[in-house]
Amino acid sequence: MQGKIRAIKVSKSIIINLIGVIILIFILFPIIWVAITSLKSHSELFAIPIEYFPKKPTLQSYKEIFLKGYWSGQALLWHQYLLNSLFVAGISTFFVLLFGSMAGYAFSRFEFRGNRVLLSILILTRMLPGPALMVPIYVMITKYGLRDTLWGLILVHSAFGLPLTTWLCAGFFKSIPKELEEAAIVDGCTRVKALLRIVIPLAFIGIISVGAYHFVGSWSEFAFASILLETQKIRTAPVGLGDFIFLFGASYFNRVGAAAVTMALPITVIFLFAQRHFVRGFLTGAVKE
């Protein structure tokens, strides 16, 4: 009887693992295909029979998108697109963490009328679909002279990231006992010093997790970047990648693949090195009193 039960458990485990492998292959196949394509030469793209793996892997497509000046009369500014994305994602992440952590601390430590209602309303704003807000945001950004500027896009990304950051930071700070701050204040610390020296270090992993999450979202955001940025020189990497698809087409898709790989590389590095902290941080932020 016990042998049958063990056999059933082993069979279930094998089936679950097999399903997991199939799902993983289904998800990773397009990514692996793009990465392999980026290593092919132009002649290998249309070789008959089809060559799934390059015989002689080359980085020529990477050199072309970074070093080649023009293609069909259009400037190739891939390095500039990456720098623009880095600037937008980095600055908006800084603003989101700065103001989100302060707001989250206020919600977690100070009791005022409508505290919980306001915090709930903040997270409810995440349920609004971004495309539904494109027209009013475009009008507002244009009115204040921020259209076709990176600072206008930074403002939009920060506005969308603040509600979730505030809500999660409030959860991080609620998980830290108030007695630690009170003891520090008794020893002579001001509330600000207690926040900087005790609360933030204890919630540091969670805050960094939220920052990394926002950075990834801002780095890969396409919709608002495509309608707010018109000048080619200030476009971000997702918009530039879309331009490359139309510019190179299927004939030179290895260059599109090279651009996609270089764009995905920073995000991949972040997740590889911070995967455990992501899980731990968000679980901490989910704790409420």
> Model confidence over 71-120: pLDDT tens digits?
766 778 899 999 999 999 999 999 999 999 888 888 888 877 877 788 87
- b/e per residue, 35-49, with b = 16+ CB within 10 A? ebbbbbeeebbeeee
Domain boundary among 63, 83, 116: 63
What DSSP assignment string belongs to 115-165?
Answer: HHHHHHHHHHGGGS-GGGGHHHHHHHHHHTT-TTSHHHHHHHHHHHHHHHH
Model pTM?
0.84
Residues 14 and 157 in one domain: no
Task: Kindly state the average pLDDT of the residues 244-269.
Answer: 86
Whether 59 and 87 share a structural domain: no
Q: CA end-to-end span of the chain, whole Å?
A: 47
Let me know whether 100 and 196 are in one domain: yes
Helix (H, G, I), strand (E, B) or coil at 77: coil
Alpha carbons 195 and 91: distance in angstroms, whole number: 23
Q: In CATH, what number is assigned to the domain containing residue 161? A: 1.10.3720.10
Residue 210 sits in which domain range? 74-285
Domain end point (choices 44, 63, 82): 63
The top-scoring range by mean pLDDT among 128-137, 166-175, 230-239, 250-259 is: 230-239
**CA distance linking residue 104 with residue 42, whole number of Å:** 53
> What does residue 38 show for φ and ψ, rounded to 5 degrees?
-65, -20
159 and 246 fall within a common domain: yes
Same domain, 119 and 201: yes
Is 145 in the same domain as 57?
Answer: no
pLDDT of the residue at 44: 81
- Let me know if residue 68 belongs to a domain: no
In a domain, 69, yes or no: no
**Residue 145 falls inside a structural domain:** yes
- The pLDDT tens digits for 22-38 are 888 888 888 888 888 88
**Domain endpoint, select from 63, 84, 104:** 63
Q: Does the CA dihedral 25-27-28-30 come out positive or negative?
A: positive
